[in-house]
Amino acid sequence: MIRIAFLIGILLVGGCSFNETEYTNDIYLIPEGYEGSIIIFYGIPGEPVLEQQGDFSVIPVKKEFLESMALSEYPYYGVSLTSTPYENEGEITNDKFFYVDSNGERTSIQEECIHQRGTGGFTNNDETSVVYYDFQVTMSECGQKFWFDGKDSYFDQLKEVKDYWFNELY
């Protein structure tokens, strides 16, 4: 009987220790004025490791031109590639988003100007996996609707970007 009580006690204490709240702690540095989709690829060999700023990983976003979107409304997209593995399994998003000007000055982006989508990934024939995180940013359409739904044309843009990078990485 004492053994059973002891085992139950261990399970209760052990189970409680796994209930700590996890946070995602990323700082996204986005080129000033950019609007559209942004995609971050993790675990890419040969790419730089993310820098740390306190408890936060700093993710510099580059604005790139996509030839297949040249005639569209949004031929530019945001991208960051890093060799850092994806580890943001947090329950609560504690991320920060900034526009960065040519002098490196940061301007905070309001929450209603970001539509966070989530993570995804793909695997090639030799079982190499790539994990990505994508989101949208706007300056002109900030509000609850954008925060919740995003913008359809940015989803179209993102599909083209994913297709391009799938072919590029594999």
Domain ranges of the chain: 24-169
Query: 33 — phi, psi (to 5°)?
Result: 85, -5
Residue that the structure tokens 């594999």 belong to: 170
pLDDT by 10-residue block (mean), the chain, 170 residues: 47 47 82 96 93 95 93 92 81 85 97 91 76 95 96 92 85
- Report pTM: 0.82
Query: Which among 99, 138, 12 has a CA at the least distance from the CA of 4?
Result: 12
**For position 23, what pLDDT does the model report?**
63
Quote the DSSP letter at residue 3: H
